[in-house]
């Protein structure tokens, strides 16, 4: 997995931070998470082909998380897109986009397939042979969902020397890679551990957009490998965070510790902060392996 941060700020853009947008790459497949203003400009700067994005995930309907979407869709249209676009979002975004395109007399040459969030439970919303994607509810002023991207368990690796020694036929290899022992022509069972080596551990990424401190998240994303959690304020504005249903860096770090993640990424910083280093100091008190994201930040994991 690789996460590329396209926007790391909160409601008000700054000269150095766009509103929230992220691009997750998993085995060559691209997933856009939220789409604040200037998202397509950030994609162009990183030379990401817009038409390679087939799945977009919008956490909620506050404008700083979706206002870049009409422009991005229009550019896809002008770029000759014909493939369907899958949009995972709250109900209502379909109506908003329909009004925009109707009044601008825009007739898309591709279909938008809407997949609406569950409002009260964790839900599998998409999967293929190697990945599962879940949505789960956050705690915000309006309906807001996070997303969990989780690789499925990988197949074991065949030992080349074992294949040659035991003359294992091709038709039996998939079952062995899946973990089965193998019975040779003499009826002897060869343990799987002698035929394979363990696979690379599966990876996972959780995106927790706008949310107040919410211990229930542990039920949804326990032990996720990398956690992105909003940190709009530092601790001296905890009352402001509470009233706006946002989190402080301290609260995000406490959540990371509770979830037992390996790495915590903090973002969605209020534009009032010209220097974000206090966020890192505050979070590291509770969770040492914390990083602050910025526009252009990327991480392989």
pLDDT of 201 above 90: no
DSSP 239-275: HHHHHHT--BHHHHHHHHHHHT-SEEEEE-B-TT-S-
Per-residue pLDDT at 200: 87
Q: Indicate the average pLDDT of the chain.
A: 96
Q: pLDDT confidence of 208, banded at 50, 70, 90?
A: very high
Residue 69 has pLDDT above 90, yes or no: yes
Mean pLDDT of 265-279: 97
Q: The whole model's pTM is what?
A: 0.91
Task: Give percent of the chain with pLDDT exceeding 70.
Answer: 100
The verdict on whether 94 is a catalytic residue reads no
Mean pLDDT, residues 283-300 taken together: 98
Lateral strand order in the sheet of 2-7? 112-116, 85-89, 53-57, 29-35, 21-26, 2-7, 298-300
* Residue 299 confidence (pLDDT): 98
The pLDDT value recorded for residue 222 is: 98
Better-predicted residue by pLDDT, 132 or 155: 132
Q: What percent of the chain has pLDDT over 90?
A: 93
Mean pLDDT of 93-122: 96
Quote the pLDDT of residue 199: 85
- Of 34, 64, 210, 295, the catalytic one is 64
| Predicted local distance difference test score (pLDDT) of residue 185 | 86
Question: Looking at the predicted structure, is the pLDDT value of residue 275 above 90?
Answer: yes
User: What average pLDDT does the segment 117-134 reach?
Assistant: 95
Alpha-carbon span 212 to 270, nearest angstrom: 15
Q: What is the pLDDT of residue 101?
A: 98
**Chain segment 14-24, per-residue pLDDT in tens:** 999 999 999 99
42-264-65 Cα angle (round to 5): 40
**Using an 8 Å Cβ cutoff, are 89 and 115 in contact?**
yes
272: pLDDT strictly greater than 90:
yes
């Amino acid at each position: 997995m690789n996460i590329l941060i396209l926007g790391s700020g909160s409601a008000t853009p700054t000269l150095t931070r766009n509103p929230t947008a992220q691009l997750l790459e998993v085995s060559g497949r691209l997933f856009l998470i939220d789409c604040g203003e200037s998202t397509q400009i950030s994609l162009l700067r990183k030379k990401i082909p817009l038409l390679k994005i087939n799945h977009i995930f919008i956490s909620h309907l506050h404008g700083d998380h979706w206002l870049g979407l009409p422009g991005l869709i229009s550019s896809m249209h002008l770029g000759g897109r014909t493939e369907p676009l899958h949009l995972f979002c709250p109900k209502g975004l379909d109506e908003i986009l329909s009004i925009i395109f109707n009044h601008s007399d825009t007739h898309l040459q591709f279909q938008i397939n809407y997949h609406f969030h569950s409002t009260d439970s964790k839900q599998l919303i998409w999967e293929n042979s190697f990945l599962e994607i879940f949505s789960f509810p956050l705690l915000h002023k309006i309906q807001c969902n996070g997303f969990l991207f989780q690789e499925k368990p990988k197949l074991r690796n065949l030992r080349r020397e074992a294949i040659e020694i035991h003359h294992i036929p091709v038709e039996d290899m998939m079952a062995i890679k899946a973990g089965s022992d193998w019975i040779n022509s003499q009826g002897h069972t060869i343990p799987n551990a002698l035929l394979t080596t363990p696979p690379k551990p599966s990876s996972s990424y959780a995106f927790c957009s706008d949310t107040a401190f919410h211990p229930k998240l542990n039920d949804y994303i326990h032990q996720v490998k990398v956690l992105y959690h909003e940190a709009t304020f530092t601790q001296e504005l905890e009352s402001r965070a509470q009233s706006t249903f946002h989190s402080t860096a301290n609260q995000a770090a406490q959540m990371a510790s509770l979830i037992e993640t390996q790495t915590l990424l903090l973002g969605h910083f209020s534009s009032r902060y010209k220097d974000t280093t206090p966020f890192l100091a505050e979070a590291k008190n509770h969770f040492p392996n914390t990083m602050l994201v910025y526009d252009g930040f990327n991480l392989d994991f």
